[in-house]
């Protein structure tokens, strides 16, 4: 019977196979969680080459490739963080505006304003347009 997500099952005959497979699963789960776009076959080839002591890249090439990769990942994370920050602020303002104003004073509750605008201030954001 195939394992979840596989077309054919890997035979886990002994403890060594189970440990090897578990390490592979952990690597795969981590890469998936971090949304790292890799070629699984090439990753497996890299592991085999490393274990055999026959890498296809020299240390300087590895350093250059990984440096570029890290910069790309940092940029993607920054873009994602900026998007989340903007969407979060928009949500907070909409929540504040959704609360009905006091019929007499026309003022929304100070407690709700504090709850909503304090995080924006902590994020370095302002509700006022900058000139």
Residue numbers of the domain that contains 70? 59-126
Per residue in 12-27, pLDDT (tens digit) is: 999 999 999 999 999 9
- Residue 74 included in any domain: yes
Return the closest-CA partner of residue 90 out of 125, 43, 55.
125
pTM over 0.75: no
Per residue in 49-59, pLDDT (tens digit) is: 999 999 999 99
Residue 86 and residue 65 in one domain: yes
Range 6-33 burial, b when 16+ CB lie within 10 A, else e? eeeeeeeeeeeeeeeeeeeeeeeeeeee
Structural domain total, the chain: 2
């Amino acid at each position: 019977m195939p394992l979840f997500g596989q077309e054919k099952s890997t035979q886990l005959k002994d403890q060594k196979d189970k440990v090897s497979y578990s390490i592979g699963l952990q690597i795969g789960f981590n890469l998936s969680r971090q949304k790292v776009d890799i070629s699984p076959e090439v990753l497996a080839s890299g592991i085999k080459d490393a274990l055999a002591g026959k890498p296809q890249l020299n240390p300087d090439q590895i350093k250059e490739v990984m440096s570029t990769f890290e910069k790309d990942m940092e940029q993607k994370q920054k873009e994602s963080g900026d998007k989340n920050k903007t969407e979060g602020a928009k949500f907070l303002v909409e929540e504040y505006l959704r609360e009905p104003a006091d019929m007499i004073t026309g003022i929304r509750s100070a407690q709700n304003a504090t709850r909503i605008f304090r995080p924006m201030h902590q994020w370095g954001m302002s509700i006022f347009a900058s000139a």
